[in-house]
């Protein structure tokens, strides 16, 4: 009976003590099986992702929003507030003070406050439900002022020329959500937008004046001359490319951007995996596998859209992609300088990267 003590539910601790007292006649419990190393690694990765916190960044309106606001006349701000309905009033009252600079412009467009729309040059056109758009509803009216501020300021701080006659491409523009803000800000810049989603580009070309829109191929090159662009913006584009496509399109950007020009892009990294895991938007196994591949290779890619594609755009290298800064640097720093890297800068998710052409 004593020999089986260690197998009883509460006998393990007694067996250890009796084994010492009986000089081994009562056997000690057998050692536990070795841990599953894969399971240990998986839990370590998941624990690290759950603990990953986004940095705190100073949030405020910047160019172009400040320049658009400077065009308003005394009394315009009050005119916008008078037009708020129950929905937009609730948003206004709950908003942090700095966001009200953006909301003043957004709600002026949503409620079609004519003096503000006329003075700023903002468009009131809204994509219908069958046209791809990154956001809808009152808070999306007029475009994405926050992203427009972020990418324009990043390019200016990197030394890119965004003056009259400059040529700037929004690569992956969809229906022109932030490009429309940039055009209102500096209409003398030659703004261009391209996307493989032909429906979104067709709508934008028909409704947003002063911007050159064209459908882009799924593989480079673009139909643009070498060294012809002063800047390229690419928001959440390399966050979808497979490894080969990511490398080919980086090479194409180096061909297109002239020396001194800037490439402002957002990418997904470990912080994005943390963001999705923390919010329950990715399966634990998928997060752990992607993180392990990312740490091993610097780039991880997974299928995301299925046979129907992403709003009809189908490509075997278009899914969900994650990269490290080291992976990107190895493929760019021969022809570019790294001007800025802000981890998890975009809504606590994507990293902001600014490269300047040598």
> DSSP readout, 19-80?
HHHTTTSSPPPPPPPPP-HHHHHHHHHHHHHHH--PPP------TTHHHHHHTPPTTHHHHH
Q: What is the pTM of this model?
A: 0.89
Q: What are phi and psi of 299, to 5 degrees?
A: -145, 135
pLDDT in tens, 248-292: 999 999 999 999 999 999 999 999 999 999 999 999 999 999 999
Nearest to 121 by CA among 64, 38, 77: 64
pLDDT of amino acid 325: 98
**How far is the C-alpha of 332 from the C-alpha of 88, rounded, in Å?**
44
**What is the rounded average pLDDT for all residues in the chain?**
92
pLDDT in tens, 295-342: 999 999 999 998 889 998 899 999 999 999 999 999 999 999 999 999
Domains of the chain and any CATH numbers: 2-51 (no CATH), 145-357 (3.40.50.150)
């Amino acid at each position: 009976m004593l020999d089986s003590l260690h197998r009883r539910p509460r006998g393990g601790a007694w067996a250890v003590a009796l084994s010492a007292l009986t000089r081994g006649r009562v056997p000690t419990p057998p050692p536990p099986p070795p841990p599953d190393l894969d399971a240990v690694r998986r839990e370590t990765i998941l624990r690290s992702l759950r603990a990953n916190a986004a940095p705190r960044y100073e949030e405020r309106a910047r160019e172009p929003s400040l320049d658009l606001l400077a065009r308003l006349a005394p009394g315009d701000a009050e005119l916008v507030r008078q037009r708020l309905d129950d929905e937009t009033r609730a948003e206004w009252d709950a908003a942090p003070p700095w966001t009200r600079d953006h909301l003043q412009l957004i709600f002026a467009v949503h409620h079609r406050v004519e003096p503000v729309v006329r003075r700023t040059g903002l468009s009131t056109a809204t994509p219908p439900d069958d046209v791809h758009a990154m956001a809808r509803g009152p808070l999306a009216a007029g475009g994405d002022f926050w992203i427009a501020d972020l990418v324009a300021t990043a390019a200016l701080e990197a030394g890119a020329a965004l003056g009259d006659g400059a040529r700037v491409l929004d690569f992956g523009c969809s229906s022109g959500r932030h490009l429309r803000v940039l055009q209102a800000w500096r209409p003398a810049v030659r703004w261009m937008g391209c996307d493989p989603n032909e429906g979104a580009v067709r709508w934008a070309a028909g409704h947003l004046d002063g911007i050159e829109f064209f459908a882009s191929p799924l593989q480079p090159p673009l139909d643009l001359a070498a060294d012809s662009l002063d800047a390229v913006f690419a928001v959440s584009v390399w966050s979808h490319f497979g490894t080969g496509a990511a490398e080919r399109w980086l090479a194409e950007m180096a061909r297109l951007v002239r020396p001194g020009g800037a490439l402002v892009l957002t990418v997904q990294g470990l912080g994005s995996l943390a963001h999705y895991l923390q919010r329950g938007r990715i399966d634990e196994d998928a997060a752990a596998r992607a993180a392990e591949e990312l740490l091993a290779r610097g780039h991880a890619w997974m299928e995301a859209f299925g046979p129907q594609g992403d709003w009809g755009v189908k490509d075997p290298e278009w899914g969900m992609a994650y990269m490290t800064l080291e992976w990107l640097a190895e493929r760019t720093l021969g022809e570019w300088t790294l001007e800025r890297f802000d981890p998890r800068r975009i809504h606590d998710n994507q990293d902001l990267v600014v490269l300047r052409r040598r």
